[in-house]
Amino acid sequence: MKFLKLLLVLFVIQVQAQQGGMWIPSLLKGTNEKEMKALGMKISADDIYSVNNSSLKDAVPHFDGGCTAEMISPKGLLLTNHHCGYDNIQSHSTVENDYLTNGFWAYKMEDELPNKDLTVTFIIKIEDVTTKIFEGVLNLPTESDKQKRIQQNIATVSKSFQKEAWQDVMIRAFYDGNQYLLFVTENFKDVRLVGAPPSSIGKFGSDTDNWVWPRHTGDFSLFRVYADKNNRPAEYSKDNVPYKPKHFFPVSAKGIQENDFTMVMGYPGRTQEYLPSFAVEQIVNDLNPAKIEIRDAALKVQDGFMRKDNAIKIQYASKYAGVANYWKKWIGETKGLKKSNAVAIKKDFEKKFQERVNKAGKQAEYGTILADFEKNYKDIREYAIARDYFTEVVLRNSEILSFGYRLYQLEQVYNTKGEQAFNDRKNNLISGFEGLYKDYSAQVDEKVFEQLINLYATKSPKQFLPETLNNINASALTTSVFGSSKLTSFNGLKELLNGDAKSVLEKLNQDKGYQLVKSIADSYQKNVAPKFDEINLKNIALQRTYMKGIMEFFPNDRIFPDANSTLRVTYGKVKGYKPSDAVIYEPVSYLDGVIEKYIPGDYEFDVPKKLIDLYNAKDYGRYADKNGKMPLAFIATNHTTGGNSGSPALDAKGNLIGLNFDRVWEGTMSDIYYSPEICRNIMVDARYILFVIDKFAGAKNLIEEMTIVYPKSQKAK
């Protein structure tokens, strides 16, 4: 018995060790394929990525550069998240036809809605071009010479690479610049909106439930990719036809169970898994807390106004969601890094690294990396903090300062490029500003400004502050700026920008708001940016060597390249987790939870009547589980990050079982340190998506074009 238990423990450790990581799809053969099969996968690495035959990768395009999507029919039907299609859904909405509120469904292809500027990009093939990119680089004396040469090589190789006329080429750095991969892509420009549930399904729970498990959001929307007659990318045209993908995913209505194999393919944006402990310490102790405090202040002010005033709520809802998203993520990340002892674990690893370097006699190449990192992170600390204050306060959260900063750049354009460039930029700015001021409330911004300028003046490193912020009285400064600056309205702004360069700059420099921005930006450009860039460049070079050393001295570790918005595969198991003492989370949520959370009329937790009716009648079509319940979402140990929104979650055979859209709050530190104990991705169950399309929307036309894999119990209907 004891022996059995030990075996079981070993087995569990083994399986846990096989999780985490975002792998390159063309390099899965060997270790990854073995691990995936051990976890239950029934297909091969060649089925996932192949240049010669159609493979799963052919069904997974990058959606609009930021999200992921997948093909789910032979007629180019595309599935992604509701929050990924949000802007397009919004752009077709009017007061009479509000598709965000009511949903949208095209019951015929003629009803599908074209989207200007929306593109999806498929990967045709991936090739290693490292040797070519490093040509003539290694002997160059300085890091900036090296970077320049690398950029030149990238341009040359991209240009000369053989491809079809309708294809594109891009080259990306992996392993902090130790490897370069080239991607041949096809970029489709005619992508039409097909379906979206109402926000009360697609955004159910909104910001309160964001990053949270248990979750009940039907976060999906549908589009269709159109091609020319030869099935190639083309600009929008009435004559285009539905794209025939080389592969599309059958949709599984069979459902999932705890411990089932899952894999997610997609375009994760950015991770930093190999940072030294000194960098992680800085994130935990200095940078995240500063950013959180700033956003906390801004969000509190905005929320106060939004709850009182419906017009302000409409103006600020989308901005608020954007700011709140990472605010909440950073809080979870900071807690998770502390709780998992990420810094201590990194320090342990660094000790081992140093030992192996010494043992191998490689001190000349790697001996001082860690000491250099320690010094650099000490040296950069104040600059990094100042940079985050500048970014968060001036560029991101105080609107008047961010408007002013655009004008500051305009003045710089004049100084460096002259009158013509100034006029071009000015005209561009005016049309951009029109949209920004439409959603601007000076009343809200004034209160935000008062809070944030006070934080800037009292909490950011004193030595870099401009005189205008020395010992200020925040409330007096606010009154003086908002009492006179023309930046508080679109008309005021137009007045400022009216005239030739000389008179515009004269007016600007007399405006109290502009004067303040200029003083802050000047001192940032002079006292912070150059030094930050200088030390940061050193860290980039160190990180590249450190990464090389990690690969050399830990050849048996599971080392994957940090996310860089290229196609990756991650795999794991459906699994619950333990968020805190005495609490256990199950891996599957049900429609019952929607009804439990229902608050009539609430902007986050309202539920459409039709959904309540279907729930009361248990009218779930062929999509209920074997107990007659309607599954809604589930979690698994897949290692995902921002950009994986809309990614397909696949079962052991490569059928679609879910749609990735989030992570659990306690595990958001996985961008820096992945722990299989607590890091989980969140997916909408494919059965809920089918149910909403079929039973809620009655879009049988869409159900019919998919290939649906039913469980035995649902076959006969």
- Shortest separation between residue 374's beta carbon and ligand ARG, angstroms: 32
Q: How many residues does the chain have?
A: 717
- Shortest separation between residue 182's beta carbon and ligand ARG, angstroms: 29
- Shortest separation between residue 522's beta carbon and ligand GLU, angstroms: 36
Which is nearer to ligand ARG, 70 or 112 (by Cβ)? 70
Q: Could you say which of ligand ARG, ligand GLU, none residue 714 binds, taking C-beta under 5 to 8 angstroms by partner kind?
A: none
Binding positions for ligand GLU, rule: CB under 6 A: 67, 640-645, 661-663
Which is nearer to ligand GLU, 66 or 367 (by Cβ)? 66
End-to-end CA distance of the chain: 47
CA 526 to chain centre: 32
**Considering 55, 398, 645, 670, which one is annotated as catalytic?**
645
Structure tokens at 281: 């310490």
Give the C-alpha separation, 187 to 168, whole Å. 8
Structure tokens at 617: 């009648």
Is 82 annotated as catalytic?
no
**Locate tokens 């990735």: which residue?**
660
Give the C-alpha separation, 25 to 15, whole Å. 21
Binding positions for ligand ARG, rule: CB under 6 A: 83, 206-207, 210-211, 321, 325, 642, 645, 662
Which is nearer to ligand ARG, 143 or 604 (by Cβ)? 604
Confirm if 81 and 645 have CB atoms less than 8 A apart: yes
Which is nearer to ligand ARG, 115 or 681 (by Cβ)? 681
Q: Could you say which of ligand GLU, ligand ARG, none residue 206 binds, taking C-beta under 5 to 8 angstroms by partner kind?
A: ligand ARG
Give the C-alpha separation, 717 to 713, whole Å. 9
**CB burial string 522-545: b at 16+ within 10 A, e below:** ebbeebbeebbeebeebbebbbbb
- Shortest separation between residue 99's beta carbon and ligand ARG, angstroms: 17
Which of 494, 303, 460, 312 is CA-nearest to residue 389? 460
- Shortest separation between residue 710's beta carbon and ligand ARG, angstroms: 30
Give the C-alpha separation, 393 to 464, whole Å. 15
Which is nearer to ligand GLU, 169 or 323 (by Cβ)? 323
Q: CB-hemisphere CA count at 13 Å for 548?
A: 14
- Shortest separation between residue 631's beta carbon and ligand ARG, angstroms: 20
Q: Could you say which of ligand GLU, ligand ARG, none residue 398 binds, taking C-beta under 5 to 8 angstroms by partner kind?
A: none
Confirm if 694 and 623 have CB atoms less than 8 A apart: yes
According to DSSP, the residues that pair with 262 across neighbouring strands are: 572
Which is nearer to ligand GLU, 37 or 319 (by Cβ)? 319
Q: Could you say which of ligand ARG, ligand GLU, none residue 170 binds, taking C-beta under 5 to 8 angstroms by partner kind?
A: none
The helix/strand/coil state of 677 is: coil
Q: Answer whether the bond into residue 214 is a cis peptide, omega within 30°.
A: yes
Is 62 annotated as catalytic?
no
Amino acid at site 70: E
Give the C-alpha separation, 372 to 391, whole Å. 27
Residue ranges of alpha helices (H) inside 250-398 are: 277-282, 288-308, 310-339, 342-359, 363-366, 369-389
Is 26 annotated as catalytic?
no
**Considering 58, 219, 671, 694, which one is annotated as catalytic?**
219
Which is nearer to ligand GLU, 221 or 645 (by Cβ)? 645
Amino acid at site 49: Y
Q: Could you say which of ligand GLU, ligand ARG, none residue 210 binds, taking C-beta under 5 to 8 angstroms by partner kind?
A: ligand ARG
Which is nearer to ligand ARG, 112 or 666 (by Cβ)? 666
- Shortest separation between residue 662's beta carbon and ligand GLU, angstroms: 5
Which of 53, 85, 68, 10 is CA-nearest to residue 570? 68
- Helices 143-160 + 529-553 axis angle, to 10: 70
- Shortest separation between residue 325's beta carbon and ligand GLU, angstroms: 8
**Considering 83, 460, 671, 694, which one is annotated as catalytic?**
83
Q: Which amino acids are annotated catalytic?
A: 83, 219, 645
